[in-house]
Structure 1
């Protein structure tokens, strides 16, 4: 350590011209140095005023605290860099080279962190325009859950099975996001399968009665309900129940249970998938082709051995 101080002292004081040059520069630039210090001092107060003004505007606009903090930090550092360049210019230091160096440095960083900067910008857009907030239930692709927190790179969504899913913010601003929290009412799309041998009028009547008995269903009289499709193994009946958003899951589970009980009570079949297989055999003595029709389901097998003419 002593050697370091000795070397520094030798460099500074061995050549008196160094001290003389520093002294001459200081006295020749005394006015500019004082002006630069005053500029920096006033600029700091100006930056503080701009930050407080931005905070007041964002508070009136009901911005999130995270967005306000992030924006004020950007304002602070951007204005601080500008203030330093102004002070250097006052001292007579050419700032063109500094600006070029900052530009090249920023370009290199931007190319290296392109995806991260995209997530950062997307996070800022989410915080500013607020398509969703913490606590809202949203759906992104196949992920449905409650927004736990909005960070600058990722948004954390907690699913029903208590998994934390980190979704890059760039995905949330470039793809469709369903926000359930902004709607007070929702439609539950039901699809019920009944057998072709059942009376669909009777089945629809039973379904309407079930929906009418549940007071949480808001549209029992005007509900859209009817046959939606003739499937391979069943007649499909669709119904759309309107409920409060907070009752969505409870009503769905309750209605499905009530429908199963009612269909069992009134003999309405919920059919299994079925498959029909045709097997052809040849009688070696006569060369006649005989057919065997085999109808198979998950619960039973029916075989028709009658030969085809």
Structure 2
């Protein structure tokens, strides 16, 4: 929305951008870059004004991977068109001794073009060139992952398995995993190691997409699944996905205790509680909503514990209603 304002005999025009929240985002940056010519015509030189405050694009450029000097130089070039390094230095506050390395870096990253005059002149390329920074980040992450995998393989090749005495102690012990991600890793480990049967007693299946590839693989291997979960309109789509894999599913309405049993030899109990300010009913069934909870997982291969958890599961399984019948 354009606002026309008169102050002390002078007229000013502002473009106000309404957002759903007051957090600066890349959307503001892209809007500014695409419409800067129009904005400048209305004395809109340095900021996009939006309800909730004023946003400087320099920090946003830094979030995309530019250094402070690079971001300031690029911002000046966007505002100024074709200019010299000295001009960029004067307007950005970057020392003249540092401006050239920033401009050379921007050119190498595909954000700036250079005119071979005396002195040299520079101009910013269009906003689409910022995608180069996204590609840089992607390549860097891929390289880091590859390096981490190599390190893992190296460590694995030189570290021996624990002695059998320690394995026996582990079978009788109880282990605690804290945090949602650690609990999810333990679940994935159980699923991958399963040879015959997995029994799951869970909730709204808001996490199921994270393990769907493992479930599909285990289904092809012939591993049997018996799943207790919430069966209703909020979970219907996810339940049907599992039914299509040939899993047996029955309904239950438990909220606090979840868990799984692998091949009758290892059992997990998971306890979750909402974080402060989160109510269960506000997040029910939304994909990823389980991240709003605090998690603890109790794991053991102790035969007595495994039998107890299995008995708990079977008592609910016996009384659970068939999911396919409930949905059809």
TM over 0.5: no
Q: Which has the higher contact order (CA 8 A, sep 6+)?
A: 2
The higher radius of gyration belongs to 1
TM-score (norm 2): 0.22
TM-score (norm 1): 0.23
